[in-house]
Chains A and B, each alone.
Chain A
Amino acid sequence: MDAVERENLDRQKRWAKEQKVGEGAYAVVYRGREFSTGRRVAIKKIKVGQFKDGLDMSAIREVKYLRELKHRNVIELLDVFSNKTNLNLVLEFLDSDLEMIIKDRSLVFLPADIKSWMAMTFRGLEFCHRNFILHRDLKPNNLLIASDGHLKIADFGLARDFADPGFKMTCQVITRWYRPPELLFGARYYSSAVDIWSVGCIFAELMLRTPYLAGESDMDQLKTIFRALGTPTEQEWPGHTKLPDYVPVGQFPKTPLRDLFTAASTDTLGLLSKCLLYEPRKRVSAAEALQHPYFYAIPHPTHPLKLPKCTTQMAPRPLGEVDGDGNVDDDVDMTGSGGTFGAGVKSGLGPGVKSGAPNNTNKGRLKRKITSPMEGADGDMSARTRSIARKLDFTKERYVKSP
């Protein structure tokens, strides 16, 4: 056997693969364990055989960037090994993600909790940007939560580096609801500000407990954004009408954020509005955000160990979809169990800004990876059945495992 094959086998032998816990667009994720220490890990197995151009770009990006990044708020890649035509990434095991926490109606978020999640997100992102890496797919579902409450940025399948300022890049990135207006207008030269917009959307979602800017199509996404934040003027965002895919989508007045986020502090809205500035160059950077008064004001961020935790553990979600109920209207909640911040009283607006169009089935079936070869293969029904089955499994296991 070749020295290289032997090395690979040695690496492979360090890890035990156990049951399947999730499925992404191009990978199956298993729970696993390090033999020598018993440490829990996740093994993300990427099927390679199916790609006619060999190793898939998403897999390559994920391996390339995670090999370079080591930070408390970025998921750790422990090892990589191959196995015939599969590539296996050994990742630290993370119990849940922010989307599940947001959706868990039994949890109440305090302002300090949100501040803690935001601080961890900005710290991880500042580290990525400092190393000239754009994530390009930030959303609650890709912010995973460790058992000790630490938040970790995961899923670098769309990441890229941005060392050269004048370099043309694709605008077909970032899941629609979290995509900034410059990408929706087809900008091919953009910066780390695209990730900041996504973080702004996540920030708002943590307060509203429902996606803030949930457009139904790319065109509708722009409309949704403008309805929420007002149509940008040339002065606010110079040159935007010259962007490749610019189209006028109507004039909407500016409504103060305060109208929707009635209970939020001034600092909170100050930082939020800086994340959601139209002019990308004026948008706050991750490093600046961490210095914002919001993070220094009372209340102090909750210690990660004390953050609200999911009552159920991670359920498998085929194709990284939003779980089961994609209908955001179901989430309108005025009883106070969730919406500490969102007023939900402004009739006609509701939490989250949506288009007037009736919901359709596309809602929950966001296409999340433009480059992925297969998409939308699973029906809603199978998704729901499977996640219920898995939830049952985990609930039982939890009682045994918890110390």
Chain B
Amino acid sequence: MNEAAVGVIRKTFEAYEPGSSSNVSFVNAHEEHLLVTFYVHKISQLCGHFRFPEEVEATATSYLKRFYLKNTVMDWHPKSVMLTALFLATKTTNNPISLDVYASHIPNTVASDVLDLEFLVAQSLAFEFAVWHTHRALWGIWLDIQNLPDSLPDISKTQGSIYESALIHVRAARLTDAEFMYTPSQIALACISLTAPDLAKKWLESKENIPLPENRTDIPPRPSATTLFASIEAIKSIITNAGKVPDVEAVREVDRRLRTCKNPEKVVGTKAYLARKAEAEKKAEEKKNKKAEIQKASGAADTDPFGDPLSEPVKPGLVDYDDDDDDD
């Protein structure tokens, strides 16, 4: 992904100013990841500032990470994407806040900065707005653990603190890519296991002998306990190793280099940017002319409410996907 992006941007540099890409030092995949992780952490800080519920924070971080599965920081800086991802998350989790209020709480940001990227972010998420969260899974498992027949004798004493410290691990897990590889409940169990390994094991074992519902072919076979334990251990090591806020100095260094290797088409004022904009305008103009011709030719039959649909079957070839101005 990073290589492909570098290739495209290098070509763009070359197209507008031959030879100009040779002395650009592009950021690599690891550095992209570092930068994104840093802004995942930033989301958490912003949510604290706004006092957003945990669901907003968790959703926004998933959005930001998912966005960079399909995009590069050299095209879109995570600082801007973060703001849009968070704003979108307030809406998709039903905690809406007015855009003006939102923007006014963030320095050097106006409403349009947030909105300009909203469509791109939504598209990058393939409009999959619902996110299944690890902290919810943790809560569910936690309730269930309390029903274990012979709970550890000291559980009631340490109960609160086990849950609290597992939740801290859940938050650390948000800084990692674990959610792309494991289910929320697996990650949640790993977080309990980091705090109270015996308890996690005991809970998992208690589930082993529960029979699957009969006559259900839609439930995949249950993984063996060994497989599950292996996954849990793998997640634990991901959280321990990667669940950290990146070093600010390292991030700053990447950010500095990013300034020189940003996709020139996306930097306002550059030659490449102006050229691309002109191209887009030309296309829009052509489309408009073409549409006017089609409408003239067909006598605008399909816009007349009294038109006879039989006389003028709409040919797919003539359908304009772009007709967003025919009824507004």
Check A306 for interface membership: any CB of B closer than 8 A.
no
Check A82 for interface membership: any CB of B closer than 8 A.
yes
Interface residues of A in 39-65 (CB under 8 A from B): 45, 47-49, 52-55, 57, 60-61, 63-65
Interface residues of A in 335-392 (CB under 8 A from B): 386, 389-390
Contact check: which of A12, A19, A49 meets B309 at CB < 8 Å?
Answer: A19
Separation in Å of the B76 CB from the closest CB of chain A? 9
Separation in Å of the A379 CB from the closest CB of chain B? 16
Contact between B306 and A80, CB atoms less than 8 A apart: no
Query: In the complex, what residues of A have CB within 8 A of residue B71's CB?
Result: 2-4
Query: In the complex, what residues of B have CB within 8 A of residue A52's CB?
Result: 99, 111
Stretch among A83-91, A101-109, A263-271 lining the B interface: A83-91
Query: In the complex, what residues of A have CB within 8 A of residue B321's CB?
Result: 12-13, 17, 83
Main secondary structure of the interface of B (DSSP, over half): loop
Separation in Å of the B137 CB from the closest CB of chain A? 12
Check A307 for interface membership: any CB of B closer than 8 A.
no
Contact check: which of A33, A60, A84 meets B91 at CB < 8 Å?
Answer: A60
Contact between B130 and A386, CB atoms less than 8 A apart: no
Contact between A8 and B319, CB atoms less than 8 A apart: no
Query: In the complex, what residues of B have CB within 8 A of residue A53's CB?
Result: 91, 96, 98-99
Query: In the complex, what residues of B have CB within 8 A of residue A17's CB?
Result: 319, 321, 323
Check B179 for interface membership: any CB of A closer than 8 A.
no
CA distance A94 to B306 in the complex (A): 23
Query: In the complex, what residues of A have CB within 8 A of residue B314's CB?
Result: 18-19
Contact between B92 and A60, CB atoms less than 8 A apart: yes
Stretch among B119-127, B189-197, B250-258 lining the A interface: B119-127
Stretch among A111-119, A252-260, A393-401 lining the B interface: A393-401
Contact between A64 and B129, CB atoms less than 8 A apart: yes
Query: In the complex, what residues of B have CB within 8 A of residue A386's CB?
Result: 305
Contact between A5 and B305, CB atoms less than 8 A apart: no
Contact check: which of B136, B316, B322 meets A83 at CB < 8 Å?
Answer: B322
Contact check: which of A4, A16, A28, A86 meets B316 at CB < 8 Å?
Answer: A16
Query: In the complex, what residues of A have CB within 8 A of residue B328's CB?
Result: 47, 49
Check B249 for interface membership: any CB of A closer than 8 A.
no
- Bitwise interface map of B from 144 to 156 toward A, beta carbon under 8 Å scored 1, else 0: 0000000000000
Contact between A20 and B327, CB atoms less than 8 A apart: yes
Query: In the complex, what residues of B have CB within 8 A of residue A5's CB?
Result: 123
Interface residues of B in 103-161 (CB under 8 A from A): 111, 114-115, 118-120, 122-124, 126-130, 136
Query: In the complex, what residues of B have CB within 8 A of residue A18's CB?
Result: 302, 314, 319
- Bitwise interface map of B from 287 to 328 toward A, beta carbon under 8 Å scored 1, else 0: 000000000000000100110111000101001011110011
Check A188 for interface membership: any CB of B closer than 8 A.
no
Contact between B91 and A55, CB atoms less than 8 A apart: yes
Check B87 for interface membership: any CB of A closer than 8 A.
yes
Interface residues of A in 188-242 (CB under 8 A from B): none
Check A298 for interface membership: any CB of B closer than 8 A.
no
Contact between B130 and A54, CB atoms less than 8 A apart: no
Contact between A64 and B115, CB atoms less than 8 A apart: no
Contact between B310 and A400, CB atoms less than 8 A apart: yes
Separation in Å of the B109 CB from the closest CB of chain A? 14
CA distance A56 to B27 in the complex (A): 36
Contact between A68 and B130, CB atoms less than 8 A apart: yes
Check A246 for interface membership: any CB of B closer than 8 A.
no
Contact between A55 and B88, CB atoms less than 8 A apart: yes
Given A2-B75, A4-B71, A396-B310, A57 and B96 touching (CB < 8 A)? Answer: yes
Contact between B99 and A54, CB atoms less than 8 A apart: yes
Query: In the complex, what residues of B have CB within 8 A of residue A67's CB?
Result: 127-130
Check B51 for interface membership: any CB of A closer than 8 A.
no
Query: In the complex, what residues of A have CB within 8 A of residue B127's CB?
Result: 63, 67, 80
- Bitwise interface map of B from 65 to 94 toward A, beta carbon under 8 Å scored 1, else 0: 000001100010000000000011001101
CA distance A400 to B126 in the complex (A): 38
Contact between A60 and B129, CB atoms less than 8 A apart: yes
CA distance A203 to B152 in the complex (A): 52
CA distance A8 to B71 in the complex (A): 14
CA distance A257 to B130 in the complex (A): 42
Contact check: which of B75, B119, B129, B306 meets A82 at CB < 8 Å?
Answer: B119
Query: In the complex, what residues of B have CB within 8 A of residue A7's CB?
Result: 70, 123, 126
Query: In the complex, what residues of A have CB within 8 A of residue B99's CB?
Result: 52-54
Contact between B309 and A63, CB atoms less than 8 A apart: no
Residue of A nearest to B1 (CB): A3
Contact between B118 and A54, CB atoms less than 8 A apart: yes
Please, could you name 12 A-B residue pairs with CB atoms under 8 Å apart, sorted by A? A2-B75, A4-B124, A52-B99, A54-B99, A54-B114, A57-B96, A64-B92, A64-B130, A83-B322, A85-B324, A386-B305, A400-B310
Interface residue ranges, A against B (CB under 8 Å)? 2-5, 7-8, 12-13, 16-20, 28, 33, 35, 45, 47-49, 52-55, 57, 60-61, 63-65, 67-68, 80, 82-87, 160-161, 163, 386, 389-390, 393, 396-397, 400
Given A18-B319, A52-B111, 20 more contacts at CB 8 Å? A2-B71, A4-B70, A13-B321, A17-B321, A18-B302, A28-B327, A48-B119, A53-B91, A54-B115, A55-B119, A60-B129, A82-B119, A82-B123, A84-B322, A85-B119, A85-B324, A87-B122, A161-B94, A396-B310, A400-B310
